[in-house]
Structure 1
Amino acid sequence: MNEKHWSVDITIDEHTSANGNRTRAIARLHSQDDTHFAGAGFARRNPSDLDVPEIGDELAASRALADLSRQLIEATRADLVGITHEPIHLTS
């Protein structure tokens, strides 16, 4: 069996701007080959909402992972088009 290991690291940080608090998450894919992808996600707390940082972290991280997923699907589609020379439509 030829097992591969991919891992994803998520970095979360917060910024304060004129529009309020904004949380950013970056999800980076690490693999044993040259596969390099990074997805980004953002969340902004409405000033009238309770200040619960975990909620912004969760939302930004989920959006970063969704972006990463979209990029992987697009890379797969492009690889298949390159091999088959046919239009390819993939759904998640």
Structure 2
Amino acid sequence: MTEKRTQAPMHVKTWTLKLDLFEDGDTTTAHGVLDTGDNVLESRSSAHRSPQDAAVPEIGDEYAAGRALMELGHQLLVAGMHDAAANTPATSG
């Protein structure tokens, strides 16, 4: 006899990321906001162009945005660790 498994219905969530880039002279600043529906995480990062480098705004955008996204990723991992710890039954010993 074959046992039938029932699958749980698919659960879909949409997270919204807003990433604003600000350029001021040789500095690009990124402000990231991630709304997960359960939490809102924010990060700020910047990139500074060295005087001897060519003025290519896209490079500053990429560095600043990449750093802001890495920070948001770190915050997500930390939040996940805290949530996992809070939802793990304590063991007595």
Per the TM superposition, whether the score is higher than 0.5 is yes
Alignment root-mean-square deviation, CA: 1.5
In structure 1, the residue matched to 2:3 is none
- For 2:73, the equivalent position in structure 1 comes to 69
Moved segments of 4+, more than 4 Å: none
TM-score in terms of structure 1 length: 0.79
1:85 Cα deviation from its structure 2 partner: 6.1
Counterpart amino acid of residue 29 in structure 1 = L
1:81 paired to 2:82: no
> Percent of pairs identical after alignment?
37
Equivalent residue for 2:7? none
Q: TM-score w.r.t. structure 2 length?
A: 0.78
Measured in 1, the distance between the counterparts of 2:28 and 2:89 equals 41
**Amino acid paired to 1:34:** D
1:5 aligns to what SS in structure 2? coil
Choose 1 or 2 for highest CA Rg.
2
1 CA distance for matches of 2:34 and 2:61? 18
Per-residue deviation, 1:2: 2.2
**Per the alignment, in what secondary structure is the counterpart of residue 47 of structure 1?**
coil
